[in-house]
Amino acid sequence: MSEREIVCADLASAIDGLKRDGFRLDLIYPADEPHGAVLSKDGDRVRLTSRAGAPRPSDALPPFAPEFVLTRAGASPGEGRAGMLYRDLIPSRLGSRYIASHIAIPDGGPVADWVHFHRIAMQTIFVRRGWVRVVYEDQGDPFVMHEGDLVLQPPGIRHRVLESSPGLEVIEISAPALHATFADHELRLPNGTRPGRVFGGQEFLHHKASGTPWTPFGGGEAQETRVSGATSGLAEVRVVRPGEDGSLDVPVHDGELAFGFVLDGSGVLEFGGSHELTGADAFVIPPGEPWRLGNASPDLRLLHVTTAKLD
204 vs 265: CA distance, rounded Å: 31
Q: Which of 272, 271, 261, 269 is nearest to 294 (CA)?
A: 269
β 181-183/116-117 pair status: antiparallel
> Does the pLDDT at position 76 exceed 90?
no
Percent of the chain surpassing pLDDT 70: 100
In this prediction, residue 1 carries a pLDDT of: 64
Tens digits of residue pLDDT in 225-278:
999 999 999 999 999 999 999 999 999 999 999 999 999 999 999 999 999 999
For 128, other C-beta atoms within 10 Å of its C-beta total: 21
pLDDT band at 50 (very low <50, low <70, confident <90, very high): very high
* Cα–Cα distance for residue pair 195/110, rounded to 1 Å: 28
Mean pLDDT of 175-203: 97
pLDDT at residue number 182: 98
Give CA–CA dist 126/5, Å, rounded: 36
Q: Set out the domains of the chain in order of their start, with CATH numbers.
A: 2-49 (3.30.720), 57-311 (2.60.120.10)
Which pLDDT value is given to residue 2? 77
The string of DSSP letters for 261-306 reads EEEES-EEEESSSEEEE-TT-EEE--TT--EEEES--TT-EEEEEE
Kindly tell me if the per-residue pLDDT of 101 is higher than 90.
yes
SS3 of residue 93 by DSSP: helix
pLDDT (average), residues 104-128: 96
Q: What is the pTM of this model?
A: 0.96
